[in-house]
Structure 1
Amino acid sequence: MNNYTPPYKITSKILKLSTQISEELTKLQFSSITKVNPMLRKKNRIKTLAGTLEIEGNFLGEEKITSIIDGKKVLGSVKELAEVQGAIKAYDKLESYRYDELDDLLLAHKILMDEILTTAGSFRSVNVQVGEHIAPQPSMVSDLMTDLFTWLKNSDEHMLLKSCIFHYEFEFIHPFSDGNGRIGRLWQSVILNSYNPLFSLLPTESIVRDHQEEYYKAIENSTEQGESTPFIEFMLEMILESMQNIKNVNVPNSVPKNVPIKRLDKIIEIISENRAITIAELASLLDVTDKTIKRDIAKLKEQHRLTRVGSLKSGHWEIVHE
């Protein structure tokens, strides 16, 4: 079984998204955001932790996670606090895990779940069912994981795709009695980081959290089709969205002054020149998704800086002057 290859197809959508991600990566490499900025790195790591934990029903949130990292006491159940501590420790080692070593993944699970599971760091010995999916028998798990890591180490597929394929196959095998979702998302980040360290700056897990139903649906669709193609397409979209979002964050004052104007200000500037501009046109100009522009417009309205006169189709924007 050493020649095992997980089933998937390369679709035109996968090719298009991969190209867009490569282009974003090139832009990020020349962006001021990528200059080592500990504040931004910490902020995005906290977003990542909150995102991956919220998917599993832990809603302590960014504020409390920040306090825990800063050594402050926070209120929460013993399990909630143990989950946060485990996630902080597991992600702290993200850059040191070897992406193609099964022992390192077992170590990550041990660190993540040590205070929650007596079997942390060991494969499950019980049957599990996730929704409609009955995971492979416990006796098969060790061989399946060995085959998956052999493929991960030896395949010449692009690392971007390998990270998505691995994530799906890992969830299908469901090798642990608990913590599979968190480890699957962490390990995709580990694989991406080994391809390009810029990926460790991206809070992709928080974007997945925002699309949680679609995440589970993509896993379900892949299982129904017997291949990871729908899941690869979904995760590439999430990676692309997290890259587009990071370019436009409000970077702290400690960063050099050549940081681009904040995106909200840029939107106001563009609208002042063209009050009939559409959301799609704004998204294209600013190189972000329509969804991101809609969120920004909502923020500008909240801040009483922008209003809409008439319908989206035939109306126009009005800038509110204080």
Structure 2
Amino acid sequence: MTKQNIYNPPFTITSAILHLIADISEAVGRISVQTNDVLDLRLRRLNRIRTIQGSLAIEGNTLSEEQITAILDGQHVIAPPREIQEARNAILAYDHLEQWNPKQEKDLLQAHNILMAGLLDDHGKHRQGGVGVMSGSKVLHMAPPPARVPFLMGDLFQWLQTTEHHPLISSSVFHYEFEFIHPFADGNGRIGRLWQTLILFHWNPIFLRIPVESLVYAHQQDYYKALQQSTNQGEVTPFLEFMLSMIRDAVLSITPQVNPQVTPQVAQILQILSNAHPKNLSRKELQDIAGLRDRKSFSENWIKPALNAKLIEMTLPDKPNSRLQCYRLTNKGNFFVERIKE
């Protein structure tokens, strides 16, 4: 097959995309060459847990980071058996990540085989029936007929093997095209996100400790919106811009541009969240543990500065005033706490 005959996914390199790539590349170049091996291993484990929790949560899995940590440590967890199996499979898949070549479809099939073992009869095999992406009773996307899947996947891998585009672009384009083809009966979202991580890892190993999936989960509706916009427009550009913005934010969240100088109040919030079980606490719970009575002062002088510094985040960012609102450490906050411990 000549280069001219290779399928080229349609997308446009916009100025926004160029700026995002520049920001990501600069941030990756700054990421902690100073951190010691013990700290790096701690962050890698923490971020792998957040990655798995985020990717599974997008698919409706309700396990918390604490429960996934317990499963990783071989402890008994009370939860729906299917969700526990999904977590065990994901842990095993991410354990294999460094062994796979992102440009080989046989490795992707093996990844699906591991991710969906015990969950799907034809795990590790292309689907034999039609599938669609639904939102309630509405069909958002009807995937190509099953007979076309082997050819479309062959074209996609041929493109990935020959493209000269930056891995930040090729990984995002692959992710979208993979979801459009929807080659499996189930597990397509999990595999698409894992494979983008694998492509990025082969560009720079730092991506093993950057949980892009947890940010995608926090912006889940935007994720689906970007997929739909690309499908409607017939080109990958909207999804490409969205994923690059998620990657940039994920990289920046663990990039120690400066050693943050925080107030004693913010430092105390970080320590409270770091020691809490579960890791998500409401404003009232934080305030009670801190031993303070003035709600307004606590919100203004404790929570707001920590949010502004991106050291903590809302669990319901789209509903800031929800009575169910809780707060948790960001990757940047976790990084800061770990450095204090060292």
Q: What is the TM-score when the length of structure 2 is the normalising length?
A: 0.74
Q: Which AA in structure 1 matches 2:180?
A: F
In the alignment, structure 2 segments of 5+ residues that lack a partner are: 135-139, 267-282, 305-342
Q: 1:287-319 CA deviation, whole Å, 9 max, x = no partner?
A: xxxxxxxxxxx89x955686649xx9xxxxxxx
> 1: distance between equivalents of 2:36 and 2:180?
36
Give the corresponding residue for 2:200.
192
Instruction: Note if contact 2:32-2:255 (Cα within 8 Å) is conserved in structure 1.
Output: no
What is the aligned partner in structure 2 of residue 278 from structure 1?
none
Partner residue of 1:22 out of 16, 22, 25: 25
Question: In structure 1, what is the equivalent of residue 241 of structure 2?
Answer: 233
Match of 1:46 among 49, 53, 69: 49
Match of 1:219 in 2: 227
Farther off after superposition, 92-101 or 22-31: 22-31
The one-letter code of the counterpart of 1:24 is: A
Q: Establish whether residue 111 from structure 1 lines up as the match of residue 114 from structure 2.
A: yes
Q: Could you list the per-position Cα deviations for residues 78-107 of structure 1 after superposition, in whole angstroms to 9, with x for gaps in the alignment?
A: 211111111111111111110100000000
What do residues 245-302 of structure 1 show as CA deviations (whole Å, max 9, x unaligned)?
1135xxxxxxxxxx964x4xx2438x9xxxxxxxxxxxxxxxxxxxxxxxxxx89x95
Mapped to 1, the partners of 2:219 and 2:229 lie a distance apart of 15
Q: Which one of the candidate residues 153, 157, 167 is aligned to 1:145?
A: 153
TM-score by length of 1: 0.78
Equivalent in 48, 56, 60 of residue 59 of structure 2: 56
The number of residues matched between the two structures is 269
2:83 to 76, 80, 97: 80
Contact 1:34-1:198 within 8 A present in 2 as well: no
In 2: Cα distance, 1:91 partner to 1:238 partner: 20
For structure 1, which runs of at least 5 residues remain unmatched after alignment? 249-258, 272-297, 313-322
- Measured after TM superposition, the shift of residue 159 of structure 1 is 0.8
Q: Deviations over 1:188-234 (max 9, x none)?
A: 00000001001111011001000000000000000000011000100
Shift of 1:35: 7.5
The match for 1:179 is: 187
* Structure 2 contact 20–248 (Cα < 8 Å) conserved: yes
Partner of 1:162: 170
Q: Does the 8 A contact of 1:144 with 1:173 survive in 2?
A: yes
CA RMSD of aligned residues (A): 2.4
Aligned to 1:256: none
1:2-23 residue CA offsets vs partner (Å, 9 max, x unmatched): 5111000000100000000010
Residue 255 of structure 2 corresponds to 247
**Structure 2 matches for 1:264-275, cutoff 5 A?**
266-268=261-263
- C-alpha contact 2:130 2:146 (8 A) present in aligned 1: yes
Partner Cα separation in structure 1 for residue 300 and residue 220 of structure 2? 31
Structure 1 moving runs of 4+ over 3 Å? 33-36, 301-309
Amino acid of the structure 1 residue aligned with 2:74: G
What CA distance in whole angstroms lies between the structure 2 residues aligned with 1:11 and 1:35?
A: 40
Q: Secondary structure at the match of 1:176?
A: coil
Contact 1:33 1:247 (C-alpha < 8 Å) held by counterparts: no
